[in-house]
Amino acid sequence: MELWFTEEWLPGLKLSVRVTAIVFNKKTKFQDLCIYDTEQLGRILTLDNVIQTTEIDEYIYHESLVHVPLFAHPSPERVLIVGGGDGGSLREALKHPSVREVTVVDIDGDVIEASKAYLPALNSGFSDPRAKVIVGDGPAFVDKARSEYDAVIVDSTDPIGPGQALFTEEFYSSIKRALRPGGLFAAQTESPILMPAVVRDIFRRIGRVFPVARVFTAPVPTYPGGLWSFACASLGTDPNLPARQPNEAWGLRYYSPEMRERAFILNPKMKHDIIES
């Protein structure tokens, strides 16, 4: 008998993938956590029946979310990741040689432990001595920080359930206070094709807090609509202007100076729907 995982993107629109094995399944304190092996997407992690990461395209998402803000900083040393319990963003942040410490704060410790046990493509950063992993409430942690981080990266679920608090103007104000002068903030901001109004509202909240804010996109085929949006905001320079370039030895598979430049170019409809309307 065939086993399929199906995620409902929107009413009347679903994504289905054939499952070859159920690797892990647990009802955590916060959500239903599952890891599957699949025929076409490799190993995937889902929360409450929503795909969070897949082996086939996670590198696009994580390299975009992390390297756009970090390369806009001349020498980032302390990085905070809110969410990101799968370890993908941590893995990418640690590639920057100037980084001395990366703190990951995720509310669900079971996600972290499941990644350590079952997601070898993502979990390499957890063993790095520069990594500091905290199981706890992200907004509460950020609210206590004052001028401590060169970059804050919010690697969150959708703005429902545990992730809802990570999309408020109050949270963005806390992030601003947590940043050092010249610091940067980046977050995933949902589908610009299927949810333009949601993206617009998130970006407006960020824009009311930060003096400089930009939207950029990257293709993530296993996320609703296949194209994903991100926000990058700054206390200093324009996030669109890189201060450094990647080293070929890092083995980046998506991020490059050329892809960065293209990422900030929005087509006329997206510009209207998100920025101008």
Convert the pLDDT of each residue in 178-229 to its tens digit. Answer: 999 999 999 999 999 999 999 999 999 999 999 999 999 999 999 999 999 9
Does the pLDDT value for residue 249 go beyond 80? Answer: yes
Q: What is the pLDDT of residue 1?
A: 78
Contact 220, 57 (CB under 8 A): yes
Q: pTM here?
A: 0.97
The single-letter code of the amino acid at 209 is V
Question: Which CATH number fits the domain 58-276, given the four candidates 2.170.130.10, 3.30.450.20, 3.40.50.150, 3.30.70.360?
Answer: 3.40.50.150
Convert the pLDDT of each residue in 71-103 to its tens digit. Answer: 999 999 999 999 999 999 999 999 999 999 999
Please state, for a pLDDT cut of 90, what percent of the chain lies above it: 95
Catalytic residues: 155
Q: What is the CATH number of domain 3-54?
A: 2.30.140.10
**Core vs surface per residue 237-275: b (16+ CB within 10 A) or e:** eebbebeeebeeeeebebbeeebbeebbebeeebeebbe
Residues of the chain with CATH 2.30.140.10: 3-54
pLDDT, mean of residues 227-246 = 95
Residues of the chain with CATH 3.40.50.150: 58-276
Convert the pLDDT of each residue in 113-123 to its tens digit. Answer: 999 999 999 99
